[in-house]
Amino acid sequence: MPRSVLLTPLGGVCYRSARAALRGEWMRTPGLGALVTRLIQMMVVLALALSMIGCGPIVSGMRIMKADVEISEAVTAGARDHAVYEYTAALEYLKKAREEHAYSDFVGAERFAAKALDYAYQARRKAEVGSRVQGDGHIAPTETSDEKAVIIVPAPQSSEGVTP
């Protein structure tokens, strides 16, 4: 069957058979234009994939720094004395996060740093409350400008009743 052939400006070949010519249809083979378009698409996908790979060390490194700052705040609040478990857990999770970061396991480093951040926050909150409570069970008054601050004193624990 005879064919009509037409070359496109970018190197593609259009042809049509006698039947297609009667219907006015052209059949096109992929040429240089389709190859360039496909190459550009692959480069964009590759660039996006490479840019996402670079986020791992940055995200986990920032989370480790935040956990370190939170642990410092907990120490300042007195977590070594009032929140020993939470403080120790935060330190150990931070140590493990740094180890995983050194082995380039950035997902694991981020998870351990998140746990360290959570425990450091708990330690700070517990230390802030614990530093207000004195050794004899009385709650120390907070510094306020109002001189009529109320001091809460726990009830006596003896079996004897309190008589006024």
pLDDT digits (tens, 9 = 90+) for 20-43: 555 656 555 555 666 778 788 888
The answer to whether residue 163 sits within a structural domain is no
- Residue 150: predicted pLDDT: 61
Say if residue 123 is in the same domain as residue 75.
yes
The domain boundary, picked from 52, 72, 93, lies at 52
Say yes or no to pLDDT of 144 above 60.
no
Say if residue 37 is in the same domain as residue 23.
yes
Say if residue 20 is in the same domain as residue 66.
no
The answer to whether residue 118 sits within a structural domain is yes
As given in the structure block, the two tokens for residue 145 are 């400008």
Say if residue 61 is in the same domain as residue 45.
no
Say if residue 13 is in the same domain as residue 62.
no
Say if residue 24 is in the same domain as residue 62.
no
- Residue 95: predicted pLDDT: 96
Q: Quote the CA–CA distance of 43 and 52 in Å, as a whole number.
A: 14
Say if residue 128 is in the same domain as residue 63.
yes
The answer to whether residue 151 sits within a structural domain is no
> What are the backbone dihedrals phi and psi of residue 141, each rounded to the nearest 5 degrees, phi first?
-70, 140
Residue numbers of the domain that contains 69: 55-132
Say if residue 114 is in the same domain as residue 93.
yes
Say if residue 20 is in the same domain as residue 59.
no
Q: Quote the CA–CA distance of 75 and 133 in Å, as a whole number.
A: 17
Say if residue 77 is in the same domain as residue 46.
no
- The arithmetic mean of pLDDT across residues 130-148, rounded, is 57
Say if residue 23 is in the same domain as residue 87.
no
Closest CA to 154 of 137, 140, 141: 137
Domain count, the chain: 2
Cβ burial of 119 (10 Å; 0-12, 13-18, 19+) is buried
- CB distance 71 to 90 below 8 Å: yes
